[in-house]
Structure 1
C-alpha cells in the first residue's frame, strides 16, 4: 500500500508545495524515502553531519535533484524536523513521491 504522501504535503499557492520532512543526518546513503505514518513527515537521509549547515545544504541539494526544481528550507534550520518549499505544484510533487514508493526504493545517491 503506498504511503499517504499528502499527509506531509501542503499547497503553498500556485505552483509551490510545502513538505514536512524528518532528516536523518550522517546516513550511509543520501535518499528520499517514504512518509512516517505517525509523524506525518517525509523521511530524508543525508550523508553529511549537521555541522555548519552542511546537512541542510545536502537536504536542499538532494531534493533539488529529486524534484528537478529549486527547493529551500523554510522552517527548522536547527532541527531534524523541517519544512521545505518545493517550487512545483502539489500534484506533481505527490506523483514523483508515489512513483518512488512504487519502485519500492529510497531514491538517492550512494
Structure 2
C-alpha cells in the first residue's frame, strides 16, 4: 500500500477517518484522484463553482458516493485545502483509495 495515502489520512478514533484534501472547483469532470506527494493531500475535483457552498456540497456528495458512508467537511470550508471526516475505519478508507488509484492507472487517468 502506498505510503502517500497515509500522509493524508488520520484515524479519528473507532470507525472514523480524517482525510486532508485539496479541491479543484469548476473542473471539467468530478473525480477522486490520488495523493499529492508534496502537499500530502488527496486531490478532489468537482464541477461546481465555489459559490454559496456549492463546491463544498459537491465534495461531500462525491466522497459520500465514493466511500458509501456519510462524509462531512470539518475544516477549511472557505479554502481549497480542507479536512473531511469519513465515517469509516482508516484501513477501509485506504483500501478504497488504493483500488481507485489502481483503476485510474489501468485506464490511463493517472
TM-score by length of 1: 0.93
Cα distance between partner residues in 1 of 2:107 and 2:69: 16
* 1:105 aligned counterpart, secondary structure: helix
For residues 32-90 of structure 1, the C-alpha deviation after alignment (integer angstroms, 9 at most, x for no partner) is 00000000000000000000000000000000000000000000000000000000000
Offset at residue 105 of structure 1 (A): 5.3
Q: Looking at both structures, which has the greater relative contact order when contacts are Cα pairs under 8 Å and sequence separation is at least 6?
A: 1
Offset at residue 104 of structure 1 (A): 2.0
Task: Say whether the 8 Å CA contact 1:22–1:82 is kept in structure 2.
Answer: yes
Structure number with higher helix proportion? 2
Aligned residues: 110
CA RMSD of aligned residues (A): 3.0
* 1:65 aligned counterpart, secondary structure: helix
Offset at residue 107 of structure 1 (A): 11
Task: Say whether the 8 Å CA contact 1:26–1:48 is kept in structure 2.
Answer: yes
TM-score by length of 2: 0.93
Cα distance between partner residues in 1 of 2:47 and 2:26: 4
